[in-house]
Amino acid sequence: MADRVGIESATTSIRRARQKISQAITARPSCKKQRFAFSNSTIDIEGGIWRMNIREAGYYAGGLAIGRLLSASGYPAVRLFRRAHINAVFALLHAMMQKHFAQIYVPKRYLEELQGYADGTGIPYRTLFFMNFVFDVLKKYGFHCSSVAIAEPGKTLVGRNTDLVPWIGRLALKWFPSILLDIATPEKLRYVHVTPGLFLGALNGFNERGTAVLSHQVAATKEEAVAGNLATTLLQRMLLEEAVDISHADSIIRTNPIQRCISNNMIVSSTDGESCIFEISPTSVKTLRGSAPYQCCVTHFRDEELSRLHRSTTTDSESRLLLMNSLAEKTKATPEDVITLLKNHDNGISHRGSGRSPTNGGTYQSLVFDIMGRRIFVADGQTLPVSLSGSYREISLDV
């Protein structure tokens, strides 16, 4: 589609797209459903959607179940990372980055889960460790995302596009198709999120108390690494496992400073109908509470102090935020409207370091959480951007 100039066409774009979006999220014929089981856990594959339920007694047992299920179901990354020559490369890379990895704090329970992945898949532990924590070292290749929260009385919807550098996004679609993971661990809150397989952390999700977490990595920053701080992606998981509301999330964030990368966390509480953006560095936490029925979050700092950490221009991210705010102001708390916003590319579809539109050439995941309605809508596209190459599949939950 040719780029449209400016953002004044947003209302017309939304109106034209509503009927198409409504059709796109209806049920459609799919290939035969496959189910695999291990211990108390299952994985279902239907129409390109991977859905996993983990109900085990602890972190190692949960990791083992995930590994066994992904192996049994033929998850592409498991086949790839069992190859000897691939693991030889990762062994070398792990050795090269050992000094950096040694600074990252990973709680014992998550290391136990990672060992479960290794035992369940036959993939070497160090390969899995590298895959999970390399983005704390090579930040420029990480996740550059867009999220929006829309609240109305009795409704809270969250939209999310996860973007990658396009060549990484194409590899991720091939080898790491997204999984809807529903996990309950004793003494932790049950939560669901959409994640690449074998990923310890979390990029998005919501828990049984109605608290949603959306992570946004801020690239090209000049903060200093802080040895002993928490691995960045694990903070989002801890929030999903523990946070009952925004105030509790604030406490968890301040108690667990992240080790290296800087992350924008948007926390949404369906109970309170509120949202808050936490702008985080290894030594500082700033908050930006939503003051309207909507709030948008992208990948640059708005706090004056933290914005000094940017090493390059944030023009693309700022343009994306401006467009999203304009669209969100006219967006209702319905899946159709939120999907329309996520699919928008009025500022162009190019992804050069970061996209200027919610949908861009690096969009690897696109999803909507209807938190109070206990539904998730997931784009099933098989090429980038997934928000335009497929339909949005509705999945009901009992969280």
What are the structural domain ranges in the chain?
Answer: 10-26+142-178+198-396, 34-136
| Cβ contacts of 104 within 8 Å, gap of 6 or more | 133, 136, 229, 230, 231, 259, 260
Mean predicted confidence (pLDDT) in 387-392 = 97
pLDDT at res. 200: 97
Q: Which amino acid, residue 392?
A: Y
pLDDT at res. 144: 74
CA distances from 87 to 106, 129, 231 (A): 22, 12, 23
Q: Using CA of residue 330, residue 352, residue 49, residue 62, what is the dihedral sign? A: negative
- Positions of E strands within 282-333: 284-289, 294-297
Does residue 30 register a pLDDT over 60?
A: no
- For the entire predicted model, the pTM comes to 0.91
Mean predicted confidence (pLDDT) in 79-84 = 96
Does residue 7 register a pLDDT over 80?
A: no
- The upper half-sphere exposure of residue 345, i.e. CA atoms within 13 Å in the direction of its Cβ, equals 19
The rounded mean pLDDT for the chain is 90
Mean predicted confidence (pLDDT) in 360-381 = 97
Q: Which residue has the tokens 């693991």?
A: 87
- Positions of E strands within 219-272: 262-269
Output the furthest CA–CA distance in the chain (Å, rounded): 55
Tell me 30's DSSP state.
-
Does residue 15 register a pLDDT over 90?
A: no
| Cβ contacts of 235 within 8 Å, gap of 6 or more | 252, 253, 256, 258, 263, 265, 280
> What does the block give as tokens for 314?
């944030």
pLDDT at res. 125: 97
Q: Which residue has the tokens 């192996």?
A: 71
- Kindly report which listed range (138-152, 180-194, 233-247) carries the lowest average pLDDT score: 138-152
pLDDT at res. 140: 54
Q: Which of 333, 334, 355 is nearest to 345 (CA)?
A: 355
Does residue 115 register a pLDDT over 50?
A: yes
Q: How far, in whole angstroms, is CA 274 from its chain's centroid? A: 20
- The upper half-sphere exposure of residue 227, i.e. CA atoms within 13 Å in the direction of its Cβ, equals 5
Q: Which tens digit of pLDDT belongs to each residue from 271-290?
A: 888 999 999 999 999 999 99
Does residue 10 register a pLDDT over 80?
A: no
Give, rounded to a whole angstrom, the gap between the first and last alpha carbons of the chain: 38
pLDDT at res. 4: 40
Interatomic CA distance for residues 80 and 75, integer angstroms: 9
Interatomic CA distance for residues 242 and 293, integer angstroms: 26
Tell me 104's DSSP state.
-
- As beta bridge partners, residue 162 has 145, 365
- As beta bridge partners, residue 218 has 262
- Cβ(356)–Cβ(367) below 8 Å: no
Q: Which tens digit of pLDDT belongs to each residue from 211-251?
A: 999 999 886 788 887 889 999 989 999 999 999 999 999 99
% pLDDT > 70, the chain: 90
Residues across the chain:
399
- Positions of E strands within 93-230: 144-152, 155-163, 178-184, 191-196, 204-207, 211-218
What CATH number does domain 10-26+142-178+198-396 carry, 3.30.70.380, 3.40.50.720, 3.60.60.10, 3.90.1150.10? 3.60.60.10
Interatomic CA distance for residues 77 and 81, integer angstroms: 6
